Amino acid sequence: MHYAFHFNVVWEHWRELVEGAWLTIRLSAMAMGIGLLAATACAYAKTTGPAAVRWAIAAYIEAIRNTPFLVQVFIIYFSLPATGLSLDANQAALVAMVVNFAAYGAEILRSGLESIGRGQIDAARALGLTRYQVFRHVMLFPAIKVAYPALASQFILLMLGSSVVSAISAVELTAVANSLQSTTFRPFEFYFASMALYLGMALGFRALFTGVYWVTFVRPRLTRPAV
């Protein structure tokens, strides 16, 4: 052991690390926002669409869930340009994250949709609501409530998993830590500091999601008079 820790180097570069963390959060939040819309569309089509559509969406979900995220990133960044669709590293990272999150999100939402009692849907149809109206007004909110905890953990997995997009030199926290350690020759300090940031972000988002769950799903029940 002749390695002396110099964590003061980390303090000198804290601003870059925090900026990296902010990039990771922004990238993950954007991917989740777009991914959730795509996931909702997929879950909707998979539960109500024609057989061919259902089959195609099932194939997409299985393909994504049974291949590594890193390989998905490589396909989008390195393979797609051959078809004429060229993306820069940051765009490719975002697209890969959306494609990945949408598949997991669709599966989570589908299980939420399937948890809704048949009677609820029949009742809504009997009131003359269209299929879309039933989905939008009767099924979606309870399905999100059931799916919410799994979606929240999926977001944290997405955020932690996003560190591998540094491999295609997309800019986020791991890439920042990597470039800092290579200029300062302090690998352990910077990797450890960025791990601490990821851990803080994971715990922070978990707390935030629990809070949002309480405000959205628990408190209205407490304040609203019993029917």
The binding site for another protein (CB under 8 A) comprises 1-3, 62-63, 65-72, 74-75, 78-79, 81-83, 160-164, 166-167, 174, 177-178, 181, 187-188, 191-192, 194-195, 198-199, 202-203
CB 46 within 8 A of CB 106: yes
Rounded to a whole number of angstroms, the minimum distance from the CB of residue 127 to another protein is 33
Rounded to a whole number of angstroms, the minimum distance from the CB of residue 159 to another protein is 9
Rounded to a whole number of angstroms, the minimum distance from the CB of residue 94 to another protein is 17
Distance CA 77, CA 96 (A): 9
Distance CA 54, CA 195 (A): 40
Rounded to a whole number of angstroms, the minimum distance from the CB of residue 140 to another protein is 25
CB 151 within 8 A of CB 104: no
Tokens coding 221? 């029940």
Q: Which is nearer to another protein, 62 or 114 (CB)?
A: 62
> For residue 42, what are the contacts with CB-CB under 8 A and spacing of at least 6?
57, 60, 61, 102, 103, 105, 106, 109
Rounded to a whole number of angstroms, the minimum distance from the CB of residue 118 to another protein is 19
| Gyration radius from the chain CA atoms | 21
Q: Which is nearer to another protein, 12 or 62 (CB)?
A: 62
Q: Which is nearer to another protein, 33 or 187 (CB)?
A: 187
Q: Which is nearer to another protein, 135 or 190 (CB)?
A: 190
- Distances in whole angstroms, Cα of residue 79 to Cα of each of 82, 87, 91, 209: 6, 11, 14, 36
- Distances in whole angstroms, Cα of residue 23 to Cα of each of 41, 90, 169, 171, 190: 27, 10, 13, 7, 17
Rounded to a whole number of angstroms, the minimum distance from the CB of residue 2 to another protein is 5
Q: Which is nearer to another protein, 42 or 138 (CB)?
A: 42
Distance CA 78, CA 76 (A): 6
Distance CA 210, CA 165 (A): 28
Q: Which is nearer to another protein, 54 or 206 (CB)?
A: 206
